[in-house]
């Protein structure tokens, strides 16, 4: 099986101002990287208005795109970053160098959400326990994101 797209979930305690500031800084650095069209593509969730347009979302708060409460299987505050397989090594290296003590959960995006979040997953930093009971064992299609990049599942 070829893994075409990945998620990097950065975790933080939203009630800890130091961790929250680290998460905001990390998200902002990823957005800045996109703006200068640097060496890799990694998109924080909610950066674009929709998945099918390159129009940036207007951020009205510093915490835009951050989950300040548990969402889905994630037990604490987090934010999600999408990366296509074409840029996985650079994104992985970037998170290793820049995560600033925060834990990062990495998993592929396939039709098998439970396996993606368990057997196929990796951690940077301290792992957390996820609640995978709400995930699907088999989706109709992989959860492709940002097709306008023509990368990952959308690659021509």
pLDDT tens per residue across all 156 residues of the chain: 789 999 999 999 999 999 999 999 999 999 999 888 767 999 998 899 887 888 888 888 999 999 999 999 999 999 999 999 999 999 999 999 999 999 999 999 999 999 999 999 999 999 999 999 999 899 988 877 899 999 999 998
Name which of 99, 139, 143, 131 is nearest 11 in CA terms.
99
CA distances from 54 to 22, 34, 79 (A): 26, 11, 19
Contact predicate 81/91, CB 8 Å: yes
The structural domains of the chain, ordered by start, are 12-65+85-154 (3.30.70.1240)
């Amino acid at each position: 099986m070829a893994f075409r797209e990945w998620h990097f979930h950065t975790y933080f305690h939203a009630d800890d101002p130091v961790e929250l500031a680290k998460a905001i800084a990390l998200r902002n650095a990823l957005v800045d990287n996109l703006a200068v069209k640097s060496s890799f593509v990694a998109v924080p969730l909610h950066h674009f208005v929709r998945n099918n347009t390159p129009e940036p979302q207007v951020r009205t708060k510093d915490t835009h795109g951050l989950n300040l409460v548990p969402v889905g299987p994630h037990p604490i505050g987090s934010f999600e970053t999408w990366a296509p397989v074409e840029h996985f090594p650079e994104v992985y290296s970037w998170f290793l160098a820049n995560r600033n003590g925060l834990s990062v959960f990495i998993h592929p995006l396939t039709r098998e959400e439970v396996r993606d979040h368990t057997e196929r997953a990796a951690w940077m930093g301290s792992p957390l326990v996820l609640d995978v009971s709400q995930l699907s064992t088999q989706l109709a299609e992989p959860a492709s994101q940002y097709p306008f990049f023509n990368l990952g599942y959308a690659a021509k």
